[in-house]
């Protein structure tokens, strides 16, 4: 049976490079295959459309890479700041983009670029889906921040509180979903802790249940912010290592509790840091406009055809006669035996829905219209770290952009901008081909490396960072808590009550910790790493 997928005519009828199911049948293209064919049984019609060829060469290895594992290596940290002024400006833009991202998920992920137009500054803003609401909110935020420059010191705490509430209220949908995720994780932790009779486990269980009493969004975010340095959060971080819980954050409710406390706290932190920066940013706030970038159409997904089989994909990745071809094919087959890689490929490839991520929209807008970045700092702030494709796109773009922080997760619905009349003789087509060829080369190398057993998949992690300082790194080591059904740490009934009370106090207190230790130089700084402990990943 020939390799193929069922294509919805309704969904793809406007797609200039997608094959209609009737055409597929007329060419012998099967609509019933549910797995990736290894070798074609007949020769298919050549791919004549140059755009289809390029996009197929991009998405085929990208889908393979996604199925081999979503997270690729360690989290790529924030780019280096060359001076203090640049650091303040970049953090200001990051915090602005964060408070604009008002829904959990990717739709409202927000990117911002700061332009110096000579007569004024301008913030160009984009989101993954729809900019208008975000642009209006951003204008209001800049107005409020500008007014704070004139507020007497005695009134600043009240004005700051009002500003924080304004930002949290705007993100109501996102906060509500993060709260629900936190409460579900708390329930899961409570069930696990119920198997342990240790005093430590009972204390932690009660503390976790107390989170459920904070139902108001602002109250919960404030509690999370004030709790973010608590040693209890380091307990949460240590439980997985002590009890050999799954390294996958989605299977680790203790890590999820810590993660969502960090996310809720960051709504307060980002708003407070914006207020704190108004003096340093006063010149920009004096004359700063906001402009939503024009929507850029993404490329259409390439249609699968008779060449969409393992043999054809490897031919395009390696070329015929490659020395390691058999080893790579054998490696992929071994992986397939364990995780049904080939069975999952058709559905993933069939359901591609490319869209241009917010940071790429800002990059392309500045590049297309030759807009000058402030102080030539070609930096784009984003409410989330970049995905792997965005990181590579920035890295290889001729605009010589600052490569952003990246969670290095693979998202197959990523897409580059659509180039009309794509051809090598066309400037825009030539530029996109140059970028995509370099990105394709990197993606292929990642697939090859894993197929040959030279690399392993990274542990699954969220796109967003937790933004909580790792107290382990500051010298604090929490007491172990055993959450297995057979606890080895249960206190004996014969233990004198005085000793039980003293042990409880010691566990609750931990080693002596001064206020200065907990704030660690700057009370508003949660540190760069922070987050759910998943071995090398700290975010």
Q: How far apart are CA 512 and CA 527, in angstroms?
A: 21
Whole domain around residue 135: which residue ranges?
77-149+278-300+352-409+462-468
Has residue 211 got a pLDDT over 80?
A: yes
Last residue of a domain, one of 440, 468, 496: 468
Both 112 and 21 in a single domain? no
What is the reported pLDDT for 35? Answer: 86
Residue among 380, 430, 432, 444 at smallest CA distance from 406: 380
Does a structural domain hold residue 526? yes
Average pLDDT, stretch 70-99?
94
What is the reported pLDDT for 229? Answer: 84
Q: How far apart are CA 329 and CA 348, in angstroms?
A: 20
Q: How far apart are CA 490 and CA 479, in angstroms?
A: 14
Q: Which pair of tokens denotes residue 254?
A: 């203790």
Q: How far apart are CA 54 and CA 302, in angstroms?
A: 9
Average pLDDT, stretch 56-77?
92
What is the reported pLDDT for 332? Answer: 95
Last residue of a domain, one of 420, 438, 468: 468
Q: How far apart are CA 363 and CA 47, in angstroms?
A: 31
Q: How far apart are CA 75 and CA 389, in angstroms?
A: 14
What is the reported pLDDT for 288? Answer: 97
Does a structural domain hold residue 441? yes
Does a structural domain hold residue 158? no
**Window from 163-177, 256-270, 492-506 with minimum mean pLDDT:** 492-506
The winner for highest mean pLDDT among 266-270, 314-318, 505-509 is 266-270
Does a structural domain hold residue 141? yes
The mean of the pLDDT values for the chain is: 80
Contact call for residues 236 and 257 (beta carbons, < 8 A): yes
What is the reported pLDDT for 479? Answer: 46
Both 333 and 415 in a single domain? yes
Q: How many residues does the chain have?
A: 539
Of residues 335 and 507, more confidently modeled: 335
Q: How far apart are CA 381 and CA 95, in angstroms?
A: 9
What is the reported pLDDT for 242? Answer: 59
Cβ atoms within 10 Å of 73's Cβ, excluding its own: 15
Q: Which pair of tokens denotes residue 270?
A: 């980002």
Residue among 406, 393, 384, 402 at smallest CA distance from 360: 393
Question: Residues 6 or more apart from 394 whose CB is under 8 A from it?
Answer: 359, 363, 380, 386, 401, 402, 403, 404
Both 445 and 323 in a single domain? yes
Both 198 and 243 in a single domain? yes
The domain total for the chain is: 3
Backbone angles phi and psi of 295, in degrees to 5: -65, 135
Both 384 and 416 in a single domain? no
Q: How far apart are CA 114 and CA 375, in angstroms?
A: 10
Of residues 393 and 259, more confidently modeled: 393
Both 285 and 319 in a single domain? no
Of residues 385 and 482, more confidently modeled: 385
Does a structural domain hold residue 206? yes
What is the reported pLDDT for 354? Answer: 97
Under DSSP, the state recorded for 111 is E
Confidence band of 347 (pLDDT split at 50, 70, 90): very high
Average pLDDT, stretch 531-535?
27
HEC secondary structure over 248-277: CHHHCHHHHHHHHHHHHHHHHHHHHHHHHC
What is the reported pLDDT for 199? Answer: 86
3-class secondary-structure state, position 289: strand
Both 126 and 107 in a single domain? yes
Write out the DSSP string of 186-230.
HHHHHHHHTT---HHHHHHHHHHHHGGG--SHHHHHHHHHHHTT-
Does a structural domain hold residue 40? yes
Does a structural domain hold residue 316? yes
Backbone angles phi and psi of 17, in degrees to 5: -120, 20
- The b/e string for 380-399 (b: 16+ C-beta within 10 A; e otherwise) is bbbbbbbbbbbbbbbebbee
What is the reported pLDDT for 472? Answer: 42
Does a structural domain hold residue 189? yes
Has residue 70 got a pLDDT over 70?
A: yes
**Window from 66-80, 128-142, 333-347 with minimum mean pLDDT:** 66-80
Under DSSP, the state recorded for 520 is T
What is the reported pLDDT for 360? Answer: 98
Q: Which residues pair with 371 in a beta bridge?
A: none
Both 217 and 237 in a single domain? yes
Confidence band of 8 (pLDDT split at 50, 70, 90): very low
What is the reported pLDDT for 192? Answer: 86
Both 324 and 424 in a single domain? yes
Both 198 and 245 in a single domain? yes
Has residue 439 got a pLDDT over 50?
A: yes
Of residues 386 and 74, more confidently modeled: 386
Of residues 411 and 528, more confidently modeled: 411
Q: How far is CA 105 from CA 27, 35, 70, 261, 450, in A?
A: 40, 30, 16, 17, 29
Of residues 4 and 365, more confidently modeled: 365
Contact call for residues 150 and 188 (beta carbons, < 8 A): no
Q: pLDDT by residue (tens digit) across 124-181? A: 999 998 788 999 999 999 999 999 988 998 999 999 999 999 999 999 999 999 999 9
**Window from 58-62, 307-311, 484-488 with minimum mean pLDDT:** 484-488
Of residues 69 and 490, more confidently modeled: 69
Q: pLDDT by residue (tens digit) across 448-477? A: 999 998 766 655 555 555 555 444 443 444
Both 307 and 447 in a single domain? yes
**Window from 186-190, 339-343, 422-426 with minimum mean pLDDT:** 422-426
H-type alpha helices, 357-487: 358-368, 388-396, 427-451
Both 59 and 14 in a single domain? yes
Of residues 479 and 323, more confidently modeled: 323
Backbone angles phi and psi of 279, in degrees to 5: -65, -45
Residue among 178, 246, 183 at smallest CA distance from 212: 183
What is the reported pLDDT for 509? Answer: 35
Has residue 52 got a pLDDT over 80?
A: yes
What is the reported pLDDT for 33? Answer: 62
What is the reported pLDDT for 465? Answer: 54
């Amino acid at each position: 049976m020939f390799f193929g997928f069922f294509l919805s005519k309704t969904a793809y009828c406007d797609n200039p490079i997608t094959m209609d199911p009737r055409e597929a049948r007329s060419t012998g293209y099967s609509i019933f295959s549910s797995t990736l064919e290894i070798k074609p049984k007949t020769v298919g019609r050549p791919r004549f459309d140059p755009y289809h060829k390029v996009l197929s060469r991009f998405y085929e290895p990208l889908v393979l890479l996604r199925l081999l594992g979503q997270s690729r290596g360690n989290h790529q940290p924030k780019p280096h700041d060359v001076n203090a002024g640049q650091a303040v400006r970049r953090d200001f833009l990051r915090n602005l983009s964060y408070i604009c991202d008002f829904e959990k998920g990717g739709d409202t992920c927000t990117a911002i670029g700061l332009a110096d137009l000579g007569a004024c500054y301008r913030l160009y803003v984009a989101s993954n889906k729809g900019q208008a609401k975000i642009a209006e909110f951003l204008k209001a935020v800049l107005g409020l921040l500008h007014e704070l420059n004139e507020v007497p010191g005695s009134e600043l705490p009240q004005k700051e509180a009002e500003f924080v509430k304004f930002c949290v209220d705007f993100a109501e949908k996102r906060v509500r979903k993060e709260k629900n995720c936190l409460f579900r994780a708390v329930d899961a932790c409570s069930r696990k802790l119920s198997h342990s009779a240790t005093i430590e486990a009972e204390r932690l269980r009660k503390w976790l249940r107390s989170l459920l009493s904070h139902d108001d969004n602002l109250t919960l975010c404030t509690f999370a912010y004030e709790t973010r340095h608590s040693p209890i959060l380091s307990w949460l971080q240590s439980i997985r290592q002590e009890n050999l819980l799954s390294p996958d954050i989605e299977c680790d409710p203790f890590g999820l509790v810590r993660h969502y406390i960090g996310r809720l706290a960051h709504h307060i932190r980002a708003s407070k840091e914006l207020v704190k920066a108004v003096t340093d940013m006063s010149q920009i706030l004096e004359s700063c406009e906001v402009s939503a970038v024009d929507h850029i159409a993404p490329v259409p997904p390439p249609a699968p055809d008779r060449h969409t089989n393992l043999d054809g994909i490897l031919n395009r990745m390696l070329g015929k006669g490659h020395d390691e071809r058999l080893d790579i094919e054998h490696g992929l087959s071994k992986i397939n035996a364990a995780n049904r890689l080939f069975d999952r490929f058709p559905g993933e490839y069939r359901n591609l829905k490319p869209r241009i991520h917010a940071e790429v929209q800002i990059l392309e807008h500045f590049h297309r219209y030759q807009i000058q970045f402030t102080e030539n700092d070609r930096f784009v702030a984003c409410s989330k770290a970049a995905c792997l494709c965005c990181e590579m796109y920035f890295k290889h773009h001729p605009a010589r952009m600052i490569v952003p922080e990246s969670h290095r997760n693979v998202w197959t619905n990523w897409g580059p901008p659509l180039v009309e009349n794509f051809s090598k003789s066309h400037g825009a087509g030539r530029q996109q081909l140059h970028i995509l060829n370099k990105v394709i080369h990197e993606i292929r190398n990642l697939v090859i490396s894993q197929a040959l057993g030279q690399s392993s998949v990274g542990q699954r992690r969220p796109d967003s960072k937790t933004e909580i300082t790792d107290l382990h790194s500051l010298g604090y080591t929490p007491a172990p808590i055993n959450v297995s059904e057979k606890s080895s740490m249960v206190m004996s009934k014969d233990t004198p009550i005085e000793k039980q009370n003293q042990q409880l106090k010691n566990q609750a207190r931990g080693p002596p910790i001064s206020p200065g230790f907990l704030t660690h130089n700057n009370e508003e700084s949660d540190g760069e790493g922070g987050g759910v402990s998943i071995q090398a990943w700290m975010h």
